Every structure is written in structure tokens, then in C-alpha cells.
Chain A
Amino acid sequence: MIRLNVTQRALLAAGSAVGALANPLRGDLVATLGETTGTAALTHMHDKMMMNKTGLEILKEKPRVTKHTVDTEYLSNLPSNTFGHHYYQFMTSNGLSAQRAQTKFVEDEELAYVMTRYRENHDFLHTLTGLGVTVPEEICLKWYEMVQTELPMCALSASSVQYLLPSLRKGFSCLIKYLGV
């Protein structure tokens, strides 16, 4: 947990935005950007969770999804009509393991947990939506997350038009023209 003053937060947000756009492989900068700009959205999410029974349980128990807590053997033996089975299939076919960047720059513990939970949920959302790990699919998932979480970082990723397929990019720019923006 690193405390930042106002100047550090502003500089870090700007620096990580530029860095992440320049080099999209720097996942840690995307994470940093999310943390430095996400306070309002995290507070909003926390409030909504507090007003929901399941949300309250999650905030109380603070479950984690890491390679230590995920029992891959158990998941591999689940029947094919279960969420766990499909989650396992998604993770193994894409060679992924449940390990996300640690939350470093969110001061409030509760909000830091909400951020961690958002990150650890990401692969569950892949499973639910059926979206894969190609760049356009990840961007689509970011649109979904942007609407759900209202995190500015999602908005930045979602607007990464330069990585969309030419056909999608063409469609997107047609849409923009149509809307008269």
C-alpha cells in the first residue's frame, strides 16, 4: 500500500496512461492507471455492493481468486453444464492462470479490495460472455466492464480504436460519422 500525494497521483495517472498506450504489453501500467483514477468508480461500486445481499457477503468475507485458492483439479472434474467446468476450459485452453497484479495505490482497504475483486472477476466475465482473448474481444469485454464499473481505465482501453480490426475500425468510424460526432 503506497500513499500518494496529489501531485504524485496526477503525475502517475498521466505517466501510466502514456506508457500503457505506448506499450500495451505493460499490464502493470494499465493496473496503475486504473488505481490512480478509479476512486470515484470504486466508491460507487462499493456502495452498490453494500446494498445487495451477495455484495455484502463478499465484502465481509473478501474471497480471493488466486492460484492458491483455485482448485483446478476439482474444476476439471465438474460436469459440462456447470460454470466451473467452462471457466476451467477457458483458462486451460488459453494457457492462463489466476494471478492478477496486486493493488498498490488505493489507500482505503475496502476500496482496494473492490479493485482486486474487479480484476479477479475478469476471467469469470470471459466465461460468461464467451469472449476470447484476442485483442478485439478483450476490447469488447472492456466495453462491458466500462458500463458495469464506470472505471475510467476501462474507458481508455475501450477507446483503443487503433487495435480494432480494420473492418471493425471502418464500422466504428462510419458510426461516428453517422452520429455526426
Chain B
Amino acid sequence: FMCSALVSRIIATQHSSRIIATQRSSRIIATRHSNCEIRTLHTTPCYHDNETHFGYQTIPESEKEGRVKEVFERVADSYDVMNDTMSLGVHRLWKDHFVKSAAPKPNYKCLDVAGGTGDIAFKLHKHMSNITRDCEKIVVCDINTEMLRVGQDRAEEMGTGDNYIWMEGNAEQLDLPDNTFDLYTIAYGIRNCTHIDKVLEEAYRVLKPGGRFMCLEFSEVNNPVISQVYDKYSHDVIPVLGQVIAGDFESYQYLVESIRKFPNQETFAEMIAAAGFEIVEYELNVWCNCHSLWL
């Protein structure tokens, strides 16, 4: 760990809006340094050997991947509608901001992991093709074929199917060569992976030296007032919406719980640095309704 210089900068921005519920997402950027060795950080959760969390349940580690796969198979068709409904469309703003920060150049080789239905990939492509038509194809990798199928269908409908390579794969064990990509993105996917440290190691491996790892994920809400509203909304409203719109209460209950189980920003930043990345930054964006009448 001798050669890494951990630089962290916290930017917390507050915007007021008339949205009733508060959601928070954080963006983490890390750059791979050419000379660092990879060191694996083993977190020590309070589970027995070979057990892990699945939302608030405790299950054998070996089962987690299969169960997450099932969740996403069931929600694939209504995934986009549900995202819009649960976040009142705001997730599109977060993803736009994320892609703008990524600022991919047209000659960048981009890998979007857990990219399923294609939101990030489509935005990346739009960004690159605004500069020039002649840009690299984006590789979209997801463990779930149903999610990829939805993404492919959407790309076909938009007439841009040729710009993507849809790949079924596991973030913990990518079937991709070393030192290939300039940009690795993972949006709202890493918290569903069983071994986050392995995902980070793989990201480090497939990125070129100087390449960027970017992660968009829900994070801890520190403000106690906002977090109460947020918790009530997450636990009471979201699974109900899941039942009414997608016919699936349990999958959305899992998704809400998995946000709570994910390490907080500082811990996650440490994990990324431990995988060998340098210059780890995270940005918190809080859309809160402190100015609105509802609080």
C-alpha cells in the first residue's frame, strides 16, 4: 500500500425541490495508478462463515447470486417504469449528472457493468456521439439475461442497436482481458454483488492504467429528520408500489433493504483504495425538501 495517496474530497450540495420524498445518491470516482499492487480488503461482517445478507435476511453466501438473479428476472419488464415511479423521474437526473462527470471521449473504450436495461450505456453513447459519430462501441455487461434483453429491445427501438455489445457476465469474474478499458461504470448495481472486493479487483484489472472507475449508488442519509422520512417512504411506499405496478412486493422489499446493507461512503472509499485505486473522490448529492412546505 506504499504508493497510493488517498485523496478524498467531500462535496455535499443541497438543492431544494418540491419532491416529497428525499433520496440521496452518491457518485464515486477512482483512478487506477500504474504502479500500485492490488491489495484485497476483506471486510469482516458479523455473519457466520459462508453467510451473507440478502436485504435484512441472512442466507448462505452461495445462494445470494441466484436469489439476486431471480429478483431481477422478475422485475426486468417493469424495471424502468418502477424507477420512474419510485423516484418521480429524478433517477434520470442523477444518471445524467453521472455521465456528464464521466465525460467519455469518443475514443474511450467503455464498460458498463450491471448495465442491464441500458440507461447508462445509452447516455454514454449520446455523450460520445454528440462529439462525433465515429465512437467506440460500449460493452454492457449484466449477470441477468432478462435485463439485457430489455436493454437490447430498447436499443433496437431507438435504432442504435449497433453501438453496444451486450454481454452476459459476472462482475466478480469478468470474461474480459486486462488493461482494456478507459472507463468502467456501475450504477445501482454494486450493492447487489456478493463480494464487493472482488468486483473492485476485477474493475482494477480490466481498466487501463489511468482509467477511471465510476460508481453511482444510494448512500447513507446522515440528516436524522430527512432519514426518517426517507426510511418511511422506502419501507412503506416502495414495496407497495412494487406490488401494485409490477405485481411483486418482495423484490422491491429486497431492493430497499439492500440499500441499507451497503457500506457507507467512507467505508466504500476505503475498499476502493484497497483495490489499488488512487485519487478516490466521492460526491454526495442531496435533493431535499428543506425549503418546501412538506417538512
Contact = CB atoms under 8 A, between A and B. Distances in A.
Interface stretch (B95-103, B126-134, B151-159, B237-245): B237-245
B249 A2 contact: yes
Given A2-B249, A7-B232, A15 B239 contact: no
B240 A8 contact: yes
Contacts of B253: 2
A16 interface: yes
How big is chain A's contact interface, by range? Answer: 10 to 19
A18 B244 CA distance: 9
A104 B240 CA distance: 13
Contacts of B232: 7
B182 to A, nearest CB: 45
B250 interface: yes
Nearest to A5: B236
A15 B236 contact: no
Interface in A1-28: 2, 5, 7-8, 11-12, 15-16, 18-19, 26, 28
B250 A15 contact: no
A29 interface: yes
B244 A29 contact: yes
Contacts of B89: none
A12 B250 contact: no
Nearest to B244: A15
Contacts of A26: 247
A11 B233 CA distance: 11
B236 A8 contact: yes
A5 B235 CA distance: 10
Nearest to A104: B249
Interface in B24-53: none
A7 B231 CA distance: 13
A100 B232 CA distance: 32
A32 B236 contact: no
Nearest to A29: B244
Nearest to A19: B244
A60 to B, nearest CB: 31
A15 B240 contact: yes
B224 to A, nearest CB: 20
Nearest to B245: A19
22 contacts: A2-B250, A2-B253, A5-B236, A7-B232, A7-B236, A8-B236, A8-B240, A11-B236, A11-B237, A11-B240, A12-B240, A12-B249, A15-B240, A15-B241, A15-B244, A16-B243, A16-B244, A19-B245, A28-B247, A32-B243, A32-B244, A104-B249
Interface of A: 2, 5, 7-8, 11-12, 15-16, 18-19, 26, 28-29, 32, 104
